Amino acid sequence: MTSLVPRSDFPALRPRGSEELAPAYLDSACMSLVPQDVLQAVSEYYTEHPGCAGRSVHRWAEEVSRRYEEAREVFARFFHAPDPEHLVHTRNTTEGINLVARGFPFEKGDRVLVSDREHNSNLVVWQYLAQEKGIRLEILPLPDDRPFDAEAFESALAKGVRLVSLFHSSNLDGRTLPAKEIVERAHDHGAQVLFDGSQAAPHEALDLAHLGADYYALSFHKMLGPTGTGLLYGAPGRLEGLAPLLRGGETVAWSDYGAHELLPPPHRFEAGLQNYAGVLGARAAVDYLQRLGMERIPAHHLRLQKQATEALQDLPGLRILGPPRPEDRGSIFAFVLEGVHAHDVAIFLDEGHGVLVRSGMNCVHSWYRSRGLDGNARASFYVYTEEKDVDRFIAGVRELRGHVKLGTATGPSAPARREG
């Protein structure tokens, strides 16, 4: 089996300079590659209709206004949102989470429940609100041997929770939480639910209406789209209850020297000139994935996950993070190699085998610090990943293992990277 899509669709997947092989890009959990269709859509905005949506009435502005709202309609159909007006254009998942967190009508003492493996985007803002508004941040430990513990979740809900905010799929170890069950249990206890969908949306067919979450945030830069593009979904009636994160141009119906009236959602949340080129590029990415068929992606990832697991799980000194079953780790293969710093693993794989992986704490400092770990290496797959890419990854890890004596330890030979 090869990749799900033609590699020629992705200009980045080409040999560079004197290289005989294209890079084996295994860092898609951080950012996916972009197909030519998306590049064309972005370029077309700047060359054919570079206007401001919703402002001027000349032909370019009218064209981009139509395409901008048409993209929202395409996203609503793709993610099965009840109506396009339930989708807010954002820059990324982080902005979507902050929009909910800063706009939610919290009162002092309200509890927010997050897991112990959340990305900083779904942790730091709640810590800030604990100081600013006096909310109470509760941490739900997740088991190491399976994706979820329903009994522990029920016990946490029984304390009284205003909002549950969890990842849908983890960027740390690839586990996917039972989102529908979480929503139903939380609603039974009177809590609302926000999901960080940045790792789930690129890899599975989402039905937001069926899922029933109150809010769902995602980024297009992880699903073939341009950087600086994302969505926040709000279930019927939920966006109306949020205060805008920003106020200004394009958010008001009228203003005078003493007052103003906000536009209805979603436009009240889209302040200022928007990333029109990015949104149109994101629409092209969704069209590309629609043609591919989202239902094909999980099986592709599982083949690659099994390939890497079977080849490396018994390698001395290598520990795979996350649930033991490949079926429970999605597109992410995260590991620690005894005696080798994660950054050195990444540099060796890049310089020696042309394999590009992530290293460090994956923006989940809290989990690593609580366990005294300085990070790990992480390979992640997507629709353009081939078995040959994984073969190169396996060969590189095995070679590195042969160079390092067990029981030794090294510090990073590269400077620490910013971790988000």
The pLDDT of residue 392: 98
Domain endpoint, select from 253, 275, 291? 291
Q: Is the pLDDT of residue 229 over 70?
A: yes
Same-domain check for residues 175 and 320: no
Q: Is the pLDDT of residue 413 over 80?
A: no
Same-domain check for residues 58 and 185: yes
Q: Quick one: tokens of 215? A: 């809010």
Range name among 13-22, 31-40, 201-210, 404-413 with the lowest pLDDT average:
404-413
Instruction: Give the closest residue to 394 by CA, choosing from 379, 413, 383.
Output: 379
Q: Which of 363, 394, 397, 400 is catalytic?
A: 363
Same-domain check for residues 137 and 258: yes
pLDDT in tens, 126-180: 999 999 999 999 999 999 989 999 999 999 999 999 999 999 999 999 999 999 9
Confidence of residue 21 (pLDDT cuts 50, 70, 90): confident
The stretch 289-296 carries a mean pLDDT of 98
The stretch 190-204 carries a mean pLDDT of 98
CB atoms within 10 A of CB 130: 13
Contacts of 224 (CB under 8 A, 6+ apart): 32, 33, 34, 35, 38, 202, 285, 288, 289, 383
In a domain, 248, yes or no: yes
Range name among 41-45, 109-113, 389-393, 405-409 with the lowest pLDDT average:
405-409
CA dihedral 321, 327, 329, 331 (to 10 degrees): 130
Same-domain check for residues 25 and 59: no
Same-domain check for residues 323 and 335: yes
In a domain, 420, yes or no: no
Please classify residue 188 by burial: count the beta carbons closer than 10 Å to its beta carbon, then call 0-12 exposed, 13-18 middle and 19+ buried: exposed
Same-domain check for residues 353 and 253: no
Phi, psi of 189 (to 5 degrees): -100, 10
The stretch 296-321 carries a mean pLDDT of 97
Same-domain check for residues 26 and 68: no
Q: How many whole angstroms separate alpha carbon 47 and alpha carbon 69?
A: 20
Name the residue range of residue 19's domain. Answer: 7-30+295-403
Tell me if residue 363 is catalytic: yes
Same-domain check for residues 267 and 349: no
| Whole-Å CA distances, 240 to 86, 197, 233, 265 | 10, 21, 12, 7
The stretch 84-94 carries a mean pLDDT of 98
Same-domain check for residues 258 and 318: no
Number of domain units in the chain: 2
CATH of the domain at 206: 3.40.640.10
Same-domain check for residues 164 and 228: yes
Same-domain check for residues 48 and 96: yes
Same-domain check for residues 300 and 287: no
Do 112 and 100 form a contact (C-beta atoms < 8 A)?
Answer: no
The pLDDT of residue 357: 98
The pLDDT of residue 412: 58
In a domain, 286, yes or no: yes
